[in-house]
Amino acid sequence: MKVKAKKHLGQHFLINKKISEQIVESLDLNKNLHIIEIGPGQGALTQFLIKKTNQIILIEIDQECIEVLKNKFQKTKIIYEDILKIDLDILKIDSYSIIGNFPYNISSQILFKVLEHRNNIHQVVGMFQKEVADRICSKPKSKKYGILSVLMQAYFNCTQLLDVYPEDFRPKPKVNSSVIKLTRNNTAKLKCDHKQLTEVVKLAFGQRRKTLKNALKKITNLEELNLTKIMNSRAEELTVSQFIELTIQIFKDKTR
């Protein structure tokens, strides 16, 4: 380990090579697909990735890590940037997958960026704080089912691959971790508008203990819409397709 870990960048370097290899192995690879690694650090995953493909783009925010990476991976494209600020469209690649042991402090923001670019992304294999990974993959009627579950599952088949424990990192994180795989489904376009769905889901789960009738009062009257069946349900009881149907109903007569 050459770099002293910086806490504010969420640096927890993976030291278990078996796990690094397993993460890389679980990514689908084909020759037309570019792979973007977010936060490669000192190359724990990259060292296995370069054995499988040379279409790799590394995006790392830490100058010190950049130096290490440039030394180790001289033929690889390395971008010194903040993943939240970089415009991925400038990379001019139509189809790519994302891999990373993500910095936990910005994991939700990374997922919203993934959603933004969903039509260019084939797959995401990533390490998250276990609690976040559980939330993404949760099904209805669970306390963990929430905004990210609905939005990610609307576009991706989400599966949990393996749990990883603090001992496998330096320095050790305070939380457990989990690797998940998100594979883009066949729905090119949802039956409803993405922004409207996001609005409904955020409002519904914003007050998750209230009935949908009350939680969505600001934008609709479910009684008037004749949605009496679901108006007394709570957000966590609705499946992804029910949320999509609900969004269609709410916005069908509104011109906005």
Please say whether the beta carbons of 163 and 111 come within 8 A: no
Which is closer to ligand SAH, CB of 165 or CB of 231?
A: 165
3-state secondary structure of 78: strand
- Tell me how far, at minimum, the Cβ of 53 lies from ligand SAH, in Å: 17
Which is closer to ligand SAH, CB of 65 or CB of 125?
A: 65
Q: Give me the long-range contacts of 249-252 (CB less than 8 A, separation at least 24).
A: 249/225, 250/196, 250/200, 250/216, 250/219, 250/220, 250/225, 251/192, 251/193, 251/196
Distance CA 43, CA 142 (A): 36
Which is closer to ligand SAH, CB of 180 or CB of 227?
A: 180
Please say whether the beta carbons of 98 and 3 come within 8 A: no
Which is closer to ligand SAH, CB of 165 or CB of 190?
A: 165
- Tell me how far, at minimum, the Cβ of 211 lies from ligand SAH, in Å: 38
- Tell me how far, at minimum, the Cβ of 60 lies from ligand SAH, in Å: 5
Which is closer to ligand SAH, CB of 81 or CB of 131?
A: 81
- Tell me how far, at minimum, the Cβ of 149 lies from ligand SAH, in Å: 24
- Tell me how far, at minimum, the Cβ of 98 lies from ligand SAH, in Å: 12
Identity of residue 175: V
The residues binding ligand SAH (CB under 6 A) are: 9-14, 38-41, 44-45, 59-62, 65, 82-84, 101, 103, 106
For the chain, how long is the longest CA-to-CA vector? 64
